[in-house]
Structure 1
Amino acid sequence: MARVTVEDCVEKLDNRFELVLLSAHRARAISAGSEPTVHRDNDKNPVVALREIAVATVGVEELRDDYISGMQKRVETEEPEAETVKLLLSGQGSEIDDSFGNAGEMGGRMSEEELLRAIQNQIDSPQQKSADADDAELDD
């Protein structure tokens, strides 16, 4: 039964790899509770999915779109407006909240040297604290 079904499906989809992906996706959907569009005839979900593709009761394009959207990790967001991008790039946008102290006096900008120094201080400070704690333990 499955061999004949696969041969029927190859007429709908030329690529066997895509057939496997889409039929497996449809079989998982049936397993998750989606109603089969063909009579089950005591067949397992993959066979039912192949029969649905062969009989064309499920659209191949719909399956493909559903599969692609299910595999995407990020949700597509709207593109920022061109005017907003121009303002951000020109530096005329709102001031940046700064946690590095004197950079606020410079209009929210730091030189590369100041930035590297601040990052190095952030990296060194936990190590320095643990070294001071070790020294204090040795003194006791």
Structure 2
Amino acid sequence: MARVTVEDCVEQITNRFELVSLAAQRAKSISCGSPITIERDNDKNAVVALREIAAKNLDIPQLREELIGSLQTRNKIDFVEDENLHAESQETISDEIDISDENALIFDDEDNLNFEENAFDDNITEEDLTKL
């Protein structure tokens, strides 16, 4: 069994932080049941992931996408669904409220209003002003 070092993998992925992150993502997918592309040789998942990277058996851009997707809390699909949900709720609200019905309710009883005859008397006398 040959030992895998980071130096064997740096040729594939030059940034060591990215290398470790991608290897950890691959190790997680192996733990979840993803098939491995090399012989296990009684190695742990992290070592198998590094050996796969060194052997150039993995699609690195695809592995990057998986890593990014696992770190995101919301996907683009979630944003689109949220926007559609907001638009749908606005349409539902506007459908439920019919302005013509509202105006009918407000002004429906206008003819039945009973006003006192002198309530709107425009003739104000000086006597009325002194009372104020």
TM-score for the superposition, normalised by structure 1: 0.54
Alignment map for 1:2-13 (pairs within 5 Å): 2-3=4-5, 6-13=6-13
Rounded Cα–Cα distance in structure 1 between residues aligned with 2:25 and 2:12: 16
- State the Cα distance separating 1:96 from its structure 2 match: 8.3
User: Alpha-carbon deviation of 1:75?
Assistant: 2.3
- Give the aligned partner of residue 95 of structure 1: 94
* Alignment partner, residue 40 of structure 2: 40
Larger radius of gyration: 2
Cα distance per residue 1:68-125 (max 9 Å; x no partner): 11211112134979xx8xxx9xxxxx73878xxxxx88xxxxxxxxxxxxxxxxxxxx
**Alignment partners' CA distance in 1, 2:96 and 2:14:** 56
Which secondary structure state, in structure 2, belongs to the residue aligned with residue 41 of structure 1? coil
Residue ranges of structure 1 left out of the alignment (5+ in a row): 89-93, 99-103, 106-140
Question: Percent identity at matched positions?
Answer: 47
Aligned to 1:58, the other structure's residue is in SS state coil
User: Map of 1:34-113 to 2, 5 A cutoff?
Assistant: 34-77=34-77, 78=80, 95=94
Give me the CA root mean square deviation.
2.8
The answer to which structure has the higher helix fraction is 1
Give distance in 2, aligned partners of 1:97 and 1:20: 55
Cross-structure match for 2:115: none
CA distance in 2, matches of 1:96, 1:16: 57
1:16 paired residue number: 16
Structure 2 spans left out of the alignment, 5+ residues: 104-132
Question: How many Å separate the matches in 1 of 2:54 and 2:8?
Answer: 5
Partner of 1:31: 31
Alignment-derived partner of residue 121 in structure 1: none
